[in-house]
Chains A and B, each alone.
Chain A
Amino acid sequence: MVMDANLSVETSRRWVLVVDLDRCTGCQACVVACHAENNVPVVGEKQAGYGRWMHWIIIQRYWEGEYPNVKARFMPVMCQQCTEAPCEPVCPVFATYHNEEGLNAQIYNRCIGTRFCGSACPYKVRTYNWYAPEFPEPLTEQLNPDVTVRTRGIMEKCTFCIQRIRRIEIDAHAAGRIPADGEIQPACVQTCPSNGLFFGNLDDPDSQVSQLARGRRSFRLLPELGTEPGVIYLKGGETNV
């Protein structure tokens, strides 16, 4: 049909996630939501001790100030979807690559598990399936059919919930419109109880994320590396978490 001639498929998009650190309470609801949405396995205490946890989002904790005026600050770190991603050129089989929407993609069935990408990643957000994932009953009943259950021996990481982006786009397209700003919500954004996460298109100057990214509080993680991340952090004010 002709109706999609000028619609979303051809408009330029750069998906970004904005994380407001002043609002983050470190509750880990985003981590739980991510596990449920993306079929992320849990490896258990012992394996996590070896650094083999599978969380796609890691809540890093920092202590600020001197005793007794100590504050905890939290920083959710997920795949930064770098524009110049260090993980991409090292993959020998092109399982990870950059797509037109600025997403750093991981194609699971192509991955052979060299773990070069994990070594190259400066943010250490790629996780490796050391073992076949185990979902004890009845958890198998809640696996998301829109996401592959990854097998042993491959790398995985945050995808910005590509399955949700795709779903909303197909539905919007069918209705003959482009997805509205804020309509696409990754699981973490939808869940965040303090509304500290925002998702949207940076190429649209009027979108909420564009406005937040232009703000005084915005910064990106390890900017000196020149990776130009697609995750934008906001930090400025004092918090009393």
Chain B
Amino acid sequence: MTRRLLLFFSILILAAVLVTRAQVLASPEQPVAFNHQIHAQAGVQCLFCHSSALRADIAGIPSMQKCMGCHTIIATDNVAVQVLTSYWKRKEPIPWVRVSWQPEFVYFSHQAHLRTGENCETCHGDVGRMPLTRPAVKMDMGWCLDCHLLQPEEKVVRLADCLTCHK
């Protein structure tokens, strides 16, 4: 009896862990079915749209103006583009749902990371092959430290300091 109970609870816990993980790594539903894959295949660089990444903390979401700069002409028969255009005509911003995020007590700078030669893919996964954008990893503190602790010894002191990332 005890053994069966134990088995039952282990399966329950395992299922809960798997469900949570699947939820964390699921792609959130977006107001516009934006496809990173198509854009990457068309040769659009990450930094063309997320242009603040090199010089600011946040990478930034492109403005509607940037979207419409191309999409007044390109792929106007696409359903997603038509949804985009309808937002543009109504003069409403698109309420994008954040995919990768940090809790509010965490300080993160894209600028500082790109300067050290990191690629977008290191943290965000192969977004260029994601029709629907989803988080590639669970961005928790252990995952940050996995990389920070592997840096040269003289930098680890600083990179493992709580105040470097906590605010």
Residues of A at under 8 Å CB distance from B? 1, 4, 9-10, 97, 99-100, 103, 105, 107-110, 146-149, 162-163, 166, 170, 173-174
Contacts and interface: CB of A to CB of B under 8 A. Distances in A.
B163 A162 contact: yes
Interface stretch (B27-35, B60-68, B81-89, B153-161): B153-161
Given A148-B105, A174-B55, A162 B162 contact: no
Nearest to A96: B162
A146 B112 CA distance: 15
A73 to B, nearest CB: 34
B105 A108 contact: yes
B154 to A, nearest CB: 5
B69 interface: no
Nearest to A146: B167
Contacts of B107: 146, 163, 166
Contact of B103 (A109, A146, A170): A109
Given A170-B111, A174-B55, A9 B167 contact: no
Given A146-B107, A170-B112, A100 B167 contact: no
Given A107-B162, A148-B104, A163 B167 contact: yes
A105 B155 contact: no
Contacts of A99: 161-163
B47 to A, nearest CB: 15
B163 A1 contact: no
